[in-house]
Amino acid sequence: MIYILIELNGFRQLKKIDSSFTKTLEDTMNNTFSGESCSFINQKHSVFSFLFSGEDKYVSSLFYSIVEFFNYLKSKRNLLTGFNILLSDASSSSSADILTDLTGKLFSINEDESLFISRGLLSVLNTSAEFLEVGNFLKLVTFYEYEQEQGEDLISFLSGSKGITKYIDILEPYINGSRRGLVYFYGRKSYGLSWLSFSIAGLLQGKTMNAPWLYIKYNNSLISSINSLINCMDRDFIKNLDTYLTGVERSLWREKFPLIKDSYTIIFDEDALVLFRLYLKAYSLRMDELYLPSLVFIIDSHSFDETTSSYLASILEDLYVELNLIPVLFSEEEDLPAVYNMLKGKKYQADEWVLEAEDKKENDGSVLSCYSSPVAFYHAARTYKVSNEIISENDIPKRIRGEMGYSVKRFLLLYSLFHDLCDKEIFFSLLETEQSEHLKNEQIYKDLISDGVIYPGNMGISYL
């Protein structure tokens, strides 16, 4: 069990002065700890007490949430008259004596705006943090988000890995024109396999270029599945897209373009298909200008419904030779959907990522473990680099979830419900009440992409 004590100096007086703020403060506190399965014990004067009785493996998640709440208090320091937070492990279930003892110790510390833990918690905290000994406790000095310490995001990591070479070699004959058709990468239940598309694109374009790569992912919202062929359009590229079209094509684009200014609007299938065909032509010409192949990445193709797959396959069949398009599908299923048979597809298994002991001279190049998903491989390599721990693929999702604080879990839940229904800006506006919330949600969004949990471009959850 872990006791959590939050001291808010002069809380009673503050409540009389600004009851609206203290109500928000209490709501934030309760939401934070209820999300981590903590029970409220009591409030005595300026101290709020909670009890966490979960397993040790969830302590890191609890700590992340407490650090988030601690940072929230620091952001409101101009409205407060001082605060401290204490976490302490205890073996007894008799809370009254323990709380009295801990409260006394907390009051005796001559520090303010600090977060303290008992020494016993250090062994169960799976976090990167620095502490300073203060009296009976350890004071948090520096806290590193797990992903920040690693420095390299998923796309950068995969783009620079040995494993990506295999997929570039497969694509090479399609890129140089010696082979035509569809490329089908599959990995049975290989969650996150489609991250290969972003890594391939990143490697081909380099770090200085920002090409409008085409990623098509099924939209399973109730609006219309055909929106998958509209949402994939690069919002910056379409601003000048008509310059790549001929007179009749340009007129047709300008006539129908107002229908998709909001990519989440309702549109007739016929109009969407016309616009998508025109977009493909302009895309091909633009990629030629950039000396890049016109790859059409189809993300998580196993999730597409039959109608959308048929539309997509038919258009690609008509245009892939004329426009030098290279359709590249990623799927968790081994069998290529029958609608793509006319594209003369070739399939390749893509579910082996090898973790090697590259940095260990005594074991240089030796295989440590194999992973079916590039996302799992990334997290395993990152864990091994930091702690020399070899983590199994099945344990990785649990590890990722365990490192998420309440704010991240809340964000991810709401994102899973609404990302198909609105763009990112509208989604963020639903979450926010003030500017600091916007910055926080932006960081959560970036971190989840960096970790491979959600796809870039508001395309949904990829892993977990």
- Per-residue DSSP letters for 41-56? EEEETTEEEEEE-S-G
Give the separation between CA 462 and CA 452, rounded to whole angstroms.
Answer: 7
Angle between helices 406-418 and 19-34 (to 10 degrees): 80
Report yes or no: 452 and 195 within 8 Å, Cβ to Cβ. yes
Number of helices (H) and strands (E), helices first, in the chain? 17, 14
Q: Give the residues of the chain that fall short of pLDDT 70.
A: 35-36, 57, 91-94, 126-128, 144-151, 189, 207-208, 221-224, 262-265, 358-365, 432-439, 464
Give the separation between CA 1 and CA 312, rounded to whole angstroms.
Answer: 55
Among the listed residues 217, 137, 204, 138, the one whose alpha carbon sits nearest the alpha carbon of residue 174: 204
What pLDDT, on a 0 to 100 scale, did the predictor assign at position 146? 41
What pLDDT, on a 0 to 100 scale, did the predictor assign at position 35? 65
27 burial level (CB within 10 Å; 0-12, 13-18, 19+): exposed
Give the separation between CA 132 and CA 100, rounded to whole angstroms.
Answer: 24
In eight-state DSSP terms, residue 454 is B
Sign of CA dihedral 140, 52, 449, 373: positive
Among the listed residues 84, 121, 119, the one whose alpha carbon sits nearest the alpha carbon of residue 103: 84
pLDDT by residue (tens digit) across 384-416? 887 788 988 888 888 888 778 777 888 888 888
Q: How far apart are the first and last CA of the chain?
A: 28
In one-letter notation, the amino acid at residue 1 is M
**What is residue 349's three-state secondary structure?**
strand
In one-letter notation, the amino acid at residue 326 is I
pTM for the structure as a whole: 0.69
What pLDDT, on a 0 to 100 scale, did the predictor assign at position 7? 94
What pLDDT, on a 0 to 100 scale, did the predictor assign at position 128? 61
What pLDDT, on a 0 to 100 scale, did the predictor assign at position 326? 96
Which structure tokens are listed for 18?
């600004």
Give the separation between CA 215 and CA 395, rounded to whole angstroms.
Answer: 29
What pLDDT, on a 0 to 100 scale, did the predictor assign at position 293? 95
